[in-house]
Amino acid sequence: MLAAFVAQAAGEVWKSPTVDYHALAPEIVLAGVVCMVLLLDLFLPEHRKWMTATLGGFGVLGALIPVLTLAVSDEPARVMFSGGYVVDDFSLVLKALFLIATYVVILLSTTYVDEGDYYEGEYYFLLLTSALGMVMMASSRDLISIFVALEFLSIPAYMLAGWRKRDTRSNEASVKYYLLGVFASAVMLYGMSLLYGVTKTTILTGIGDAIRTNGVDSAAALGIVFVLIGFAFKVSAVPFHQWAPDTYEGAPTPVTAFLSVASKAAGFVALMTLVFVGFPDGIDVWKPLFWVLSVITMTVGNVLALKQTNIVRMLAYSSVSQGGFIIMPLAFAWTNDGGVLSVNRDSLTAIVTYLLVYAAMNLGAFGVVLAVSRKTRSGEISSFGGLFSYAPALGVAMTLFMGSLAGIPPLGGWIAKFTVIRALASDGSGWAIALAVIGMVNAVIAVGYYGNVLREVWMKPAPDGDTRPIAVPSSLGAALVICGAATLVLGILPNLVLRFGDRLDLAGILLP
């Protein structure tokens, strides 16, 4: 069955001769930059390897230009490869998120990689290759293209996690991430082959039509569960989160930031397209699954984060918990009212808004961790003691990012949590209200470990009385400014993101 699945997909996805090069321009530009970085690295002497970072940064910004030109055009969604690849409002927003997040990670990496005496050219080659997979994921509407995009973003990430090859913790991080990732991919691919066997197609809209016509039998239900479990690993949902704390702690800090934001967002993009486009009539299968996943992911992530003394491990469990919040509206993406399915537009808006805000505040938090560790050479939360007294700008920045992650107004995190609660309220069912209450309780619990970091920053003395100022490289400072500005603007001017989200369209479903 698996061989037939792959053969059918190859013919079905590529039989359409129509190719819109403007719609594919972001991918083409980014692929060209990947090749240029690889070639440039072959000929540059060691003392000029920094040029690969510069080329990568400009290349990512260059790929952002066609995304913007496509966004301002009045043309409808561009459908290519028989519906297997779609460029619509939804995909453009997520492509912009992935590209900007990658640019910020390059800014975070520039000094870190150079001073750490790591291989620079290969680092940026792998980073950009993973970003290309994420950009592809945003437009993929076919099981095969989704799987290829997933592997495109995951395989470089496995190697980046072990980039500090002389560090046993980094080696452990890479091996754990790789082994569990391969297992999740195998489960997902088996689920995809089951769905192909049941529906005779790999196009998501075709799968949705087949399930609507024939119903959800045991094979289709098992296929849906296996596919969703595979992506639950990518978003580090409990109990598929075991890789996250060790990988986040052992990987280079910029890579950890990249995995916690861009890689997680790519997993949620795949889940959204599957649920909204491919599996709406499988609501009785995925709705209880997502409800349970969101509850245990939020709760377990928060409880374990409270016990952490290492800032990176705390942010890892925080990332797990935040993933639970993002899963909440996904459980109510569709409403079944007397056998009539209707899409919950607020759910789509909530997830995309949360991903945008989460990217800004989490990347910013890791940026501060990078800056402080340049002086303290420690990842302990206690190393942030007295930060405001000797580095007031970093102290204020950490306050912004921790407060935003906790959902404190008027920072960006509050509007992210508000849109989630609004999406559950718009569903109005008892299960949605119960989940909203559980989410609010967990939001209060999360204040505990975010507040613990802020107590160190504002109320505790500097470790060993060392109050020397911290020299922040210009690239790292630029990344913090970008993330801080985004966190403030999204929180102070919430109507911008709310109005923008309400106009978001996803080709393949009918939005009111």
pLDDT of amino acid 71: 82
The type of residue at 447 is V
Q: What is the rounded average pLDDT of the residues 3-29? A: 62
402 or 338, greater pLDDT: 402
The CB density around residue 343, as the number of other CB atoms within 10 Å, is 17
pLDDT of amino acid 215: 84
Q: Is the pLDDT of residue 57 over 60?
A: yes
Instruction: Give the tens place of pLDDT for each residue, 413-439.
Output: 899 999 999 999 988 888 999 999 999
Q: Taking the mean position of all CA atoms in its chain, how far away is CA 342?
A: 27
Residue found by looking up tokens 């909440």 in the block: 328
Q: Which phi-psi region, left, alpha or beta, contains residue 407 (left: φ > 0; alpha: ψ -120 to 50)?
A: left
Q: Taking the mean position of all CA atoms in its chain, how far away is CA 358?
A: 9
Q: Rounded to whole angstroms, how far apart are CA atoms 400 and 385?
A: 17
Task: Please give the angle made by the CA atoms of 412, 417 and 422, to the nearest 5 degrees.
Answer: 125
Q: Considering only 241-255, 404-418, 437-451, which range has the smallest mean pLDDT? A: 241-255
**Whether 365 contacts 402, CB under 8 Å:** yes
Q: What is the mean pLDDT of the chain?
A: 86
By CB neighbour count within 10 A (0-12 exposed, 13-18 middle, 19+ buried), where does 272 fall?
A: buried
Confidence band of 40 (pLDDT split at 50, 70, 90): confident
pLDDT of amino acid 299: 94
Q: What is the rounded average pLDDT of the residues 257-268? A: 88
Strand partners, 142: 203
Q: Considering only 19-23, 355-359, 463-467, which range has the smallest mean pLDDT? A: 463-467
Q: Is the pLDDT of residue 247 over 70?
A: yes
Q: What is the crossing angle of helices 412-427 and 474-492, to 10°?
A: 40
Q: Taking the mean position of all CA atoms in its chain, how far away is CA 478?
A: 21
pLDDT of amino acid 50: 78
Full-model pTM: 0.91
Q: Rounded to whole angstroms, how far apart are CA atoms 348 and 506?
A: 9
pLDDT of amino acid 129: 93
Confidence band of 289 (pLDDT split at 50, 70, 90): very high
pLDDT of amino acid 6: 41
**Whether 129 contacts 159, CB under 8 Å:** no
pLDDT of amino acid 243: 86
Instruction: Give the tens place of pLDDT for each residue, 102-142.
Output: 999 999 988 877 666 667 778 889 999 999 999 999 999 99
Q: What is the rounded average pLDDT of the residues 166-183? A: 85
Q: Helices (DSSP H) in 307-429: which residue ranges?
A: 311-330, 345-376, 387-390, 392-406, 412-427
**Whether 124 contacts 37, CB under 8 Å:** yes
**Whether 44 contacts 52, CB under 8 Å:** yes
Confidence band of 9 (pLDDT split at 50, 70, 90): very low
Backbone φ and ψ of 426, nearest 5°: -70, -25
Question: Which residues 6+ apart lie within 8 Å of 300 measured at CB?
Answer: 238, 241, 320
Confidence band of 397 (pLDDT split at 50, 70, 90): very high
